[in-house]
Amino acid sequence: MTPRKAPELPWERVRLSVVVPVYDESTTVRQVIERVRQLPVVTEVIVVDDGSTDGTSEILLKMESERLIDRVIFHVENRGKGAALRSGFQEATGDVVVVQDADLEYDPMELPGLLEPILGGWADAVYGSRFLGGPHRAHLFWHSVGNRAVTLLSNVFTNLSLTDMETCYKMIRRDLLDTLPLTRDRFGIEPEITARLAQARARVYELPVSYRGRSYAEGKKIGWSDGLASFWHILRSHLLPPRAPRWIPPDRDPWMVERP
């Protein structure tokens, strides 16, 4: 798998907070965090252990002592990806925040490429799409169909032309993220974030990313029931309060670079 080549940009101008929700990922979490620490940009790594029972917690504490992780947050019981992300977002102090799953389906080396539109000042949020031509494992046909269906319904309400609303890779300016009212505990956080960005009239970009999808035997956790629930979460996020306030970006950010 060959990810996008990292662009040559002044990484020292920006600090990236990487929020990693973890639930029973003892076999992969160290590899993911080590990959994040190889990024050219200054990173803050916040890991939220969402009630793991397979030894993940001990691994995270060791990595925190090795300073591979800046902050570990523990949920006493499993509350869901949305709850884990909300806990991590509250602790993030970087200029830009991104979600990184701990299962090696997404390669952290893609993150510098996603950061480019924000550094250039022409995006407030960037999604990494698995369906825009990046290399990916060909499997789970019905999972792909369901993903496209919920993305289509989301686009109907948001008026965005996304190809992968459910992607893990959602990168958002922290000052914008702090204004988004997020309430969902499980995978409903994905359509909720997208709805809030649309309500804020944020500038959302998509870029292709590579994807090494897991099978359920390999530990994939999202299921058909979560897919069905996504339809409800899309409707709820648009038809019921709360709503995100209108976002007005600053005229110029300290990290902004001119497009070539």
Q: What is the CATH number of the domain that holds 202?
A: 3.90.550.10
Q: What are phi and psi of 32, to 5 degrees?
A: -65, -45
Q: Residue 145's pLDDT band (boundaries 50, 70, 90)?
A: confident
Question: Is 259 part of a structural domain of the chain?
Answer: no
With a pLDDT cut of 70, the percent of the chain lying above it is 85
Cβ–Cβ under 8 Å, residues 190 and 182? no
Helix axis angle, 189-199 relative to 141-158, nearest 10°?
A: 30
Alpha-helical regions (H) of the chain:
29-36, 56-65, 81-91, 111-119, 141-158, 174-177, 189-199, 224-239
pTM: 0.89
- 204 — phi, psi (to 5°)? -110, 130
Examine residue 6 and state whether it is found in any structural domain, yes or no. no
Residue spans of beta strands (DSSP E) within 76-188: 96-99, 125-129, 170-173
End-to-end CA distance of the chain: 28
Tokens coding 64: 């925190």
Q: Answer yes or no: is 33 within a domain.
A: yes
| Structural domains counted in the chain | 1
**Can you give the pLDDT at residue 216?**
46
**Residue 44 forms part of a structural domain:** yes
Is 4 a residue whose pLDDT tops 90?
A: no
**pLDDT given at position 1:** 45
Task: Please report whether residue 203 resides in a domain.
Answer: yes
Strand intervals (E) in 112-255: 125-129, 170-173, 204-208
Distance CA 184, CA 86 (A): 9
Domain that holds residue 64: 11-239
Q: What is the pLDDT of residues 204-234, one digit of tens each?
A: 999 999 988 655 454 455 656 666 788 899 9
Q: What tens digit of pLDDT does each residue of 27-71 get? A: 999 999 999 999 999 999 999 999 999 999 999 999 999 999 999
The span from the CA of 36 to the CA of 110, in Å, is: 10
3-state SS class at 89: helix
Look at residue 252 and tell me if it is in a domain. no
CA gap 53, 76 in Å, rounded: 10
Question: Is residue 158 in some structural domain?
Answer: yes
Residue 1 in any domain: the answer is: no
Identify the CA nearest to 172 among candidates 109, 123, 122: 123
- Cα dihedral sign for 83, 101, 239, 196? positive
Confidence of residue 136 (pLDDT cuts 50, 70, 90): low
Q: pLDDT by residue (tens digit) across 154-203? A: 999 999 999 999 999 999 999 999 999 999 999 899 999 999 999 999 99
How, if at all, do strands 125-129 and 204-208 pair? Answer: parallel
pLDDT of residue 128: 96
Does residue 117 contact residue 206 with C-beta atoms inside 8 Å?
no
